[in-house]
Chains A and B, each alone.
Chain A
Amino acid sequence: MNAQTGTPAAPARIGSVSTGAALELRGVQKMFGALAAIADVTMTVASGERRAVLGSNGAGKTTLFNCVTGDFLPTSGTIRLFGEDVTTFPAHERVRRGLRRTYQISLLFGGLTVADNVYLACRGVSRARFSMLRPRQGDTLLSRAEELIEAVNLTDASSTMVANLSYGQQRQLEIALALAGAPRLILFDEPAAGLSPTERGELVRLLTNLPEHIGYVIIEHDMDVALRVAESVTMMHNGTVFKEGTPEEIENDAEVQELYLGDGHG
């Protein structure tokens, strides 16, 4: 639902900007010793698509993210990003192809200011990563960093050390880092965790107002948030894809309700 207009915005976008697969997983498996954290996961996310990945704790959602981002190399299977096989690519190479992510537990640079965190994120995908020259006034990356800070409502905290931010502000900053550069697909790992109801409303507004060419996959336990910001849903259970469909289909599925949502939902 679009927080500003109050209308369900997401379903209307299904297929409207799909110009090919942003992410294709084929038979992806990740073993930790004898334990299969994810097994034979096959899934396609179209360009610009907004997908929620749901499942109980231990279903393998974050492991799936880690395999996509390159934090973990899958034990078997292939991962294609915008048509390119990136299965063995290191994390930074995938980022340079338009992939971004946020983390379940904020991974920020507590000793740097908000502005420096976002500036670093902008630098990471620019050509001048190794520059030994300080940015000058009018540096386009500085301007871009300021825009991102404004987009996540952190302008007043721009020069605050990240360690001194509230938890909610740190989650907002996580999103700003993910938006730096030119993202084409963002993986959000429980972005609403620990946020107040007001902050969750802000998050929904932010996600639904992202430019159409930016697709995302979101892991979220708050069903209200997940189903409002996603066009499609993948349910995971015990490391496998259990069901796929639209938010309405998933919400009304008896098996899903029994496994995950509980009888009282809806």
Chain B
Amino acid sequence: MALAEPPLDRSASRERPEAGWVERIPPVWWALGLFLLTLPAYANDFILFQVFGWTFILGMIALSLMFLAGYGGMVSLIQMSVAAMAGYMVAIFGTSGIAEISMDLPWWLYVPIAIIIAAIFGTIVGALAVRTEGIYTIMITLAIAAAFFYFTRQNYTIFNGYTGFNLVVPPRLFGVDWREPMPFYYLTLGWATLAYGVVIYVSRAPFGLALQGIRDNPRRMAALGFNVTAHRVAAYTFASIIAAVAGILLVWQNAQIAPGTAGIPAVIDILVIAVIGGIGRPIGPFIGALIYVLLRTFSPDVLLAFGLSGERFKLLIGLGFLALVFFSPDGVLGLWDRWRARRAQMARDGGLR
């Protein structure tokens, strides 16, 4: 399997010592950053809150899967459940419409508690899953995700069963209602950017490099002194923290959480998002999430315009997924990479002539 990211190129940095981090960021990223920062100036509340807010959240959950699958070679289907666990913990330890269960703790207490519990949950699942490989990792994480879904649906003492929790809203900080479209957009944009940056950074730090080495050759990594199992479990913990933060944002966006949040369709959707975008690079999950959200949001209108039932939107998503996997198994990023390679080849051919 090819490495998910270009390796550390220390020689390159030696050749260009004057190039700071600002110069190393391609212009397209500056343009994207400017576009995202100024989007509230020309987009309506629906686009900000429902399309981009949701994209960033789903992108972060898929990013946690990408980290495990792309860098660690571990396709985990537990990431949505980890996010939902964090969401449930926010509802249980914080404030919700179910006053008899929710503890009404302050946000600075329930947010870290939610992240820690979700990370522990993800770590335990990881500790079980890393002893398997390939299809068995998928199966064991899917089985635990299914168990989590049924447990939350049947447990009324803690998870309030089928109904779940409603009226779970973000705290009012600095006088800002963070569930208003524009603040929520910036909140999710900020956390998504941070998660993306941290994944990029860690992928080239010793921990990430070793994880990629373990993905490519676990036996060799053990022969270099790395505890392969512990490293893989640690990767689950890291990915779980990202998924947990996204889960908190998700429960705040929906203002409610119920077993369906982590139902099997939702669990599979995260895999679909990651695969559509491409698990080779951290930007892939966000591209996949945007495509998914756009299809999910607008395809019912398209279908209705053609006289079809709007509920058949999943058919469109499924067909799109099939077409993409058929033509580009490495997702939209793969299409993009091939297009660039072809363009470079044509430029070289043109130069030769």
Q: What sequence of 0s and 1s flags, for each residue 119-144 of chain A, a beta carbon within 8 Å of any chain B beta carbon?
A: 11101110011111111000000100
A-contacting residues, B177-221, CB 8 Å:
201-202, 204-210, 212-213, 216-217, 219-221
The reply on B8 being an interface residue by CB < 8 A is yes
Most-contacted residue by chain A among B11, B201, B217, B225 (CB, 10 A): B225
Q: Which residue of chain A is the closest to B11 with respect to CB atoms? A: A159
Let me know if B9 and A109 touch, CB within 8 A: no
On chain A, the residues within 8 Å of B217 by CB distance are: 107-109
User: Which of B7, B12, B204, B225 contacts A92, CB < 8 Å?
Assistant: B225
Please classify the interface of chain A as helix (H, G, I), strand (E, B), loop, or mixed, using the class held by over half of its residues: loop
Binds A, one of B27-35, B101-109, B226-234, B246-254: B226-234
Asked if A69 meets B210 with Cβ closer than 8 Å, knowing A112-B3, A134-B205, A142-B10, the reply is no
B-contacting residues, A11-69, CB 8 Å:
69
A92 to B213: give the CA distance in the assembly, Å. Answer: 14
Asked if A129 meets B226 with Cβ closer than 8 Å, knowing A109-B216, A110-B216, the reply is yes
Let me know if A131 and B207 touch, CB within 8 A: yes
Q: Which residue of chain A is the closest to B3 with respect to CB atoms? A: A111
Asked if A107 meets B219 with Cβ closer than 8 Å, knowing A96-B225, A123-B210, A142-B10, the reply is yes
Interface range for A: 35 or more
On chain B, the residues within 8 Å of A142 by CB distance are: 10
Let me know if B223 and A95 touch, CB within 8 A: yes
Let me know if A159 and B223 touch, CB within 8 A: no
Asked if A116 meets B209 with Cβ closer than 8 Å, knowing A92-B227, A107-B217, A111-B3, the reply is yes
Let me know if A115 and B222 touch, CB within 8 A: no
Let me know if A130 and B234 touch, CB within 8 A: yes
A-B contact count (CB 8 A): 115
On chain B, the residues within 8 Å of A177 by CB distance are: 224
Let me know if B206 and A131 touch, CB within 8 A: yes
On chain B, the residues within 8 Å of A129 by CB distance are: 206-207, 210, 225-227, 231
On chain B, the residues within 8 Å of A171 by CB distance are: none
On chain A, the residues within 8 Å of B224 by CB distance are: 95, 120-121, 123-125, 177, 180
A61 to B335: give the CA distance in the assembly, Å. Answer: 48
Let me know if A112 and B7 touch, CB within 8 A: yes
Q: Which residue of chain A is the closest to B1 with respect to CB atoms? A: A111
On chain A, the residues within 8 Å of B9 by CB distance are: 113, 159
Q: Which residue of chain A is the closest to B208 with respect to CB atoms? A: A132
On chain A, the residues within 8 Å of B8 by CB distance are: 113, 115-116, 119, 134
Asked if A91 meets B11 with Cβ closer than 8 Å, knowing A111-B3, A132-B207, A134-B204, the reply is no
Let me know if B225 and A95 touch, CB within 8 A: yes
On chain B, the residues within 8 Å of A70 by CB distance are: 222
Please classify the interface of chain B as helix (H, G, I), strand (E, B), loop, or mixed, using the class held by over half of its residues: helix
On chain B, the residues within 8 Å of A181 by CB distance are: 225
Let me know if B212 and A128 touch, CB within 8 A: no
Asked if A103 meets B227 with Cβ closer than 8 Å, knowing A112-B212, A129-B206, A133-B205, the reply is no
A192 to B204: give the CA distance in the assembly, Å. Answer: 33
On chain B, the residues within 8 Å of A109 by CB distance are: 212-213, 216-217, 220
Distance between A129 CB and nearest chain B CB, rounded to angstroms: 6
Let me know if A158 and B209 touch, CB within 8 A: no
Let me know if A111 and B206 touch, CB within 8 A: no
Let me know if B221 and A124 touch, CB within 8 A: yes
A258 to B35: give the CA distance in the assembly, Å. Answer: 79
Asked if A131 meets B213 with Cβ closer than 8 Å, knowing A92-B228, A95-B225, A103-B220, the reply is no
Let me know if A113 and B7 touch, CB within 8 A: yes
Distance between A179 CB and nearest chain B CB, rounded to angstroms: 12
The reply on B2 being an interface residue by CB < 8 A is yes
Distance between B55 CB and nearest chain A CB, rounded to angstroms: 27
On chain A, the residues within 8 Å of B207 by CB distance are: 129-132
Q: What sequence of 0s and 1s flags, for each residue 53-94 of chain A, a beta carbon within 8 Å of any chain B beta carbon?
A: 000000000000000011100000000000000000011100
Let me know if B226 and A112 touch, CB within 8 A: no
Distance between A59 CB and nearest chain B CB, rounded to angstroms: 22
Let me know if B205 and A125 touch, CB within 8 A: no
B-contacting residues, A157-181, CB 8 Å:
158-159, 161, 177, 180-181
Distance between B336 CB and nearest chain A CB, rounded to angstroms: 19
Q: Which residue of chain A is the closest to B234 with respect to CB atoms? A: A130
Let me know if A71 and B219 touch, CB within 8 A: yes
The reply on A101 being an interface residue by CB < 8 A is yes
Let me know if A131 and B7 touch, CB within 8 A: no
Nearest 6 A-B pairs (CB), nearest first? A124-B225, A124-B224, A111-B3, A159-B11, A95-B225, A91-B222
A residues lining the B interface (CB < 8 Å): 69-71, 90-92, 95-96, 100-101, 103, 107-113, 115-116, 119-121, 123-125, 128-135, 142, 158-159, 161, 177, 180-181
B residues lining the A interface (CB < 8 Å): 2-3, 7-12, 201-202, 204-210, 212-213, 216-217, 219-228, 231, 234, 238
Beyond known contacts A90-B227, A91-B223, A107-B223: 17 more, CB 8 A cutoff:
A69-B223, A71-B219, A92-B225, A92-B227, A95-B222, A101-B223, A109-B216, A110-B216, A119-B209, A121-B224, A123-B209, A124-B210, A124-B224, A131-B207, A134-B8, A135-B206, A159-B9
25 pairs from A and B in contact (CB 8 Å cutoff) = A70-B222, A91-B223, A92-B222, A92-B227, A96-B225, A101-B223, A108-B217, A109-B216, A110-B216, A112-B209, A112-B213, A115-B10, A116-B7, A123-B209, A124-B210, A124-B221, A129-B225, A129-B227, A129-B231, A130-B234, A132-B201, A134-B205, A159-B9, A159-B10, A159-B11
